[in-house]
Structures are given as C-alpha cells and as structure tokens.
Structure 1
Amino acid sequence: MGCAGFTCSKNSLCALNILYVMVSMLMIGIAAWGKWFGLVSSFQVVGGIIGIGVFLFLVALAGLIGAIKHHQVLLFFYMIILFLVFVVQFSVSSACLAINKEQQNELLEVGWNNSRTTQKDVEKSLNCCGFSHVEVNVTCPAACFTHSTCDTCAAKILEHVGEVLRIVGGIGLFFSFTEILGVWLTYRYRNQKDPRANPSAFL
C-alpha cells in the first residue's frame, strides 16, 4: 500500500520535478512570447517572470539530478530551498485570497505609479486613461482618448482584479501543497537505502 519503496519514491520525485521543469519552461515561454508580440513592453515585468521561471527551472533540475543519482547533498539543499519557496508561496497565495477591495486599490495605485511603461500597456490594452481620473493634458495611447470618452483604468481593473487574485491565489495554493509534498518525498527518499547499492556502503 502507498509509495513506500525506494523506486516508487525516486519515480515520484522525478515526476514532480519534471512537472516543475515544464511549468518553468511555460513561464519563460509566455513571458518571452508576450514581449516578442508587444503585449507587454515593461522589461521589469518580463524580466521578473523570466527570472522566477529560471529559478524554478534550476531548483527542479537540482531535484531531478539529486533524485536520479540519490545525491545526498543535492537532495538536502533542494529540500531546504523547496521548503522556503513553499513558505513564501503559501503566504503570498493566502494574501491574494484574503485581500479586500480597499487594499486592492492601494496596491494597484502603488504599482501604477512605479512604472510608466506598465501604465501605457494597461491603457492601450484596456482602452482607458489615467488611474483614478483622466488627465486631458497628458497623452494617452488608448483609442478612446481621441474621442474624449475614456473611463479611468482603476474602474476597469477593479472589475476583474478580485477574480484574478482568486485564480492566482488558488493556483499558488495548489502548487504550494505540491512543494510540501516534494519536501516530504525528498526527506523520505534521502533516508532510504538503494537496494542495488553495496549493503556495506555508507548511506
């Protein structure tokens, strides 16, 4: 019953890390695609997503090599890093699910004021101008600006931000539990003896 054997633990850990490799490649690919087709012009946003994808890829690669070779040191560091990622991701996911409308508005305004390129991306894609009020003496890339019929971006963003935060929080929470599963599998796998190894060899 269950997955108690050495081979089963090894295969489960390999499968989990292959899933992480696929997710990391997907993140890097989507960020690069968005930049290539001009959907996102902010280098900070694209660089941040690609950076997270590369980090996840390296962690998953370390876990995969450690699982295949039953490498004690790699598995130990993989387990520690995965636990730290779990703590951060669980906290962020819980915050996404718990945040109220007023806090959403404050965070959006801070993010809006930090990057002019992100403002332009949002104004163009959502066809809106300004965050809380439309400024007529400032140029706006939105199509509605020429007709002077633009809504504020805060109004349009807040229509969907609650749903987006619930989806992101739910996905993050799901993956955080796969990470704690990975920590548990790694801990157990590290303490199992390879049946094909020399019985007198040090574990």
Structure 2
Amino acid sequence: MSCSGFTCSKNCLCAINLLYVMVSMLMIGIAAWGKWFGLVSSFQVVGGIIGVGVFLFFVALAGLTGAIKHHQVLLFFYMIILFLVFVVQFAVSSACLAINKEQQNQLLEVGWNNSQTTQRDVEKSLNCCGFSHVDVNGTCPAACFLSHTKCDTCAAKIQEHAGEVLRFVGGISLFFSFTEILGVWLTYRYRNQKDPRANPSAFL
C-alpha cells in the first residue's frame, strides 16, 4: 500500500504519538529524579515540568487511541488540542530564538525574584551569591560565601550560558512544533480516509 493510504497514515500517527509518550515520560522522570536527588528543591519548577509531561502524555494517549481505533471524536479533539499546542510552542520557540541580552537579563531577574527556593538552588549549584550584587551581610549557601572567599554574582554566571540554553531550547521546541503541525495534518487526512476493513458504506 502506498504511503498515502489508510495504513500508512495510521502508522505515522501512531509513531508520532509514541514519540510524544516517550518524551512525556522522560520529562516526568527527569523532574522526579532531580527532586529525589535534591538537584531542584522548588516544587513549582518540578510541579510545572511534571504537569507539562502529564498533559503531553494524555494528549499523546488520546491520539494513539484515536489512531488505533480510527475514533472520529478522539481524533477531532486531538487535532484541535495539538494545533493549539503548536501555536503556543511555535510562539515560545520563536521568542527564545529572537530574545536579546537585555530582555534575557530582565526575564532572569523576574524569575530570580519570584522564588527564593530557586535562588538557593542556583546559588548552591553555580557557586554564586545574589543576582546583581553580593550582600555580604546576608546569607548564601554557595561554597565561596561559606569559605569567606570572593563570590561572583549569579547574573554574570547565568548569562554566560543563558544565550546558548535559549537557542538550544528554542531549536528543540521549534523542531517539535513542526512535528505537531505534521500530526495535525496527518490526523485531518486520516479522519477522512475510509478503513478498508470496515463497511464501505459506513459514514466516517
């Protein structure tokens, strides 16, 4: 059977959704691993990653079930949700790739001020204190502060890699956004194809 046929569309949809299932499980596993080993102590960060992973898992499960059973309702809602995810993800990935250093610094400072737990995690892992200045009269879990040696600000250390991280995240996100629009197109085509094993006169 040619790749434009029913079976090929079904297999492609199943493959895409299996990929999404694996990605979602990986996200959940990495977040749980980071929390378990104390790499990330912020419940907001861990909860956010796990939440996105669970959402992606259920979307992929709906798509996989709809593809296997050729279920029209499931495929319709899957197609709509996947398109909305594509729009959001494409916008975020484009922003990550287009953001300049000044905007990076503003976003980093906003994120820094939102969570003291995240501040402590960053200070400890990067061995730095404070965002833009070091408060010698304050507290800091960094090794340099505890040993009374000179500490760099966290802004300086974060900005060393922020651009690379944003480009990497933006590129990966952009890649997956194109797989999502491919999934939308495949779902639309698959919904309008007749199952050769079904009753030829049945309405699809």
TM-score calculated relative to the size of structure 2: 0.98
Aligned mates of 1:119, 1:136 — CA distance in 2: 16
**CA-to-partner distance for each residue in 1:45-65, whole Å, 9 max, x for gaps?**
000000000000000000000
Aligned to 2:179: 178
Aligned mates of 2:183, 2:93 — CA distance in 1: 18
Displaced runs of 4+ in structure 1, greater than 6 A? none
Q: CA RMSD in A?
A: 0.9
Q: Does 1:151 align with 2:152?
A: yes
CA apart distance, 1:133: 0.1
Please list, as runs of the form range in 1=range in 2, the aligned pairs for 1:61-76 lying within 5 A after superposition: 61-76=61-76
1:127 partner amino acid: N
Aligned mates of 2:201, 2:85 — CA distance in 1: 36
Aligned to 2:114: 114
2:119 partner amino acid: Q
1:33 partner amino acid: W
Please list, as runs of the form range in 1=range in 2, the aligned pairs for 1:30-179 lying within 5 A after superposition: 30-145=30-145, 146-179=147-180
CA apart distance, 1:137: 1.1
Aligned mates of 2:118, 2:43 — CA distance in 1: 9
1:36 partner amino acid: W
Aligned mates of 2:166, 2:47 — CA distance in 1: 21
Aligned mates of 2:18, 2:79 — CA distance in 1: 16
**CA-to-partner distance for each residue in 1:2-52, whole Å, 9 max, x for gaps?**
620000000000000000000000000000000000000000000000000
1:126 partner amino acid: L
Aligned to 1:27: 27
CA apart distance, 1:148: 3.2
5+ unaligned residues in a row in structure 2: which ranges?
none
Q: State, as a whole percentage, how many aligned pairs show the same letter.
A: 90
Aligned mates of 2:36, 2:158 — CA distance in 1: 24
After TM superposition, the structure 1 stretch with the greater mean CA deviation from structure 2, 27-36 or 193-202, is 193-202
Secondary structure at the counterpart of residue 120 of structure 1: helix
5+ unaligned residues in a row in structure 1: which ranges?
none
Aligned mates of 1:118, 1:167 — CA distance in 2: 21
Secondary structure at the counterpart of residue 129 of structure 1: coil
Aligned mates of 1:77, 1:71 — CA distance in 2: 10
Aligned to 1:194: 195
Aligned residues: 203
Equivalent pair of 2:42/2:117 in contact (CA under 8 Å): yes
2:21 partner amino acid: V
Q: Does 1:6 align with 2:9?
A: no
**CA-to-partner distance for each residue in 1:128-160, whole Å, 9 max, x for gaps?**
000000001111000000323100000000000
Aligned mates of 2:113, 2:124 — CA distance in 1: 16
TM-score calculated relative to the size of structure 1: 0.99
Equivalent pair of 2:2/2:8 in contact (CA under 8 Å): no
